[in-house]
A = this chain, B = another copy of it.
Amino acid sequence: MSRRRGPRLITLTSDIGSAYAAQMKAGLARRRPPGTVGDLAHDLRPHAGGEAAFLLRSMAVGFPAGTVHVAVVDPGVGGHRAPIAIECADGSSLVGPDNGVLIPLAEALGRPKAFRILPERLEPRSRVGTPFDGRALFAPTAARLAEWVAARRLGSPMRPHRYAVPVAHRSRSGARGEVVHEDRFGNLVTNIPTAWVPADVRTLVLRMGSAGARTLPFGTRYEEWGRGRACALGSSFGLVELAVAEGNAARRFRVSVGCAIDVHWPPRT
């Protein structure tokens, strides 16, 4: 069900920095009404496709039905990725390279149908002829979709590459997962759902990388403990997060995105 009231919004997400992003905005400003194109983030960690997939889903999932989300994050070496557009159950559309970054969001929005964009179907044709697909392909595709052109008019059905979303595993008294995001405070967000931790648990035992076990207090706000105190939190993502009150957990634990995390809590008796 698509939202036909008012113009469709377009959001832009990338790891390319504000200057390249501005080139996408220039082309969109030629076609879309003022105020309908917005930045989510252009300072994502370079080449970190997995973290980008996680963040794109978190950032974009709450936008109105019918929004067009463009995400240009290069997950690294591996050959040219086809440009794709994905239409979802709520009328939202996703645009970007076929590298898996769009997939978690597409699945959250429901019933994704993917199309490989055929540049020759974009009008006017790009006169630029450079490798910056953001400006030459993705922005024009988003503009067409926002004008309610169906994705099937812009390309052919295809099966997108999937990003292997790291899945956490649950045991009777714990879970094994990994760090999926480090935020600007150095907080470490894992992929372990907070809901897995029993409601009465107040401490967690963690193992990260090669370090020994640590026992950390567990709660919902690090303000409960003193400055500099390490703790585990139910994060705003609904996932277990490691933090240091007014400090930097990533530096304290020497842990980064992708690092395995084992969590244990006392078995219920």
**Which of B30, B64, B233 sits near A63, CB closer than 8 Å?**
B30
Minimal beta-carbon separation of A234 from chain B (angstroms): 7
Interface size on A, residues (CB 8 A): 69
In the complex, identify which listed stretch (A54-62, A203-211, A250-258) lies at the interface while the others stay far away: A54-62
Of A20-28, A112-120, A148-156, the one contacting chain B is A20-28
0/1 string, A212-224, CB within 8 A of B gives 1: 0000000011111
Query: CB-nearest residue of chain B relative to A135?
Result: B236
**How many copies of this chain?**
3
Indicate whether A184 reaches chain B with its CB closer than 8 angstroms: yes
Name 26 A/B residue pairs within 8 A (Cβ), A-sorted. A6-B34, A9-B29, A16-B183, A17-B41, A18-B42, A19-B59, A20-B183, A23-B236, A30-B62, A30-B63, A33-B34, A34-B35, A39-B39, A46-B185, A47-B246, A62-B135, A77-B223, A77-B246, A78-B223, A128-B238, A130-B234, A130-B235, A130-B236, A131-B235, A134-B236, A135-B236
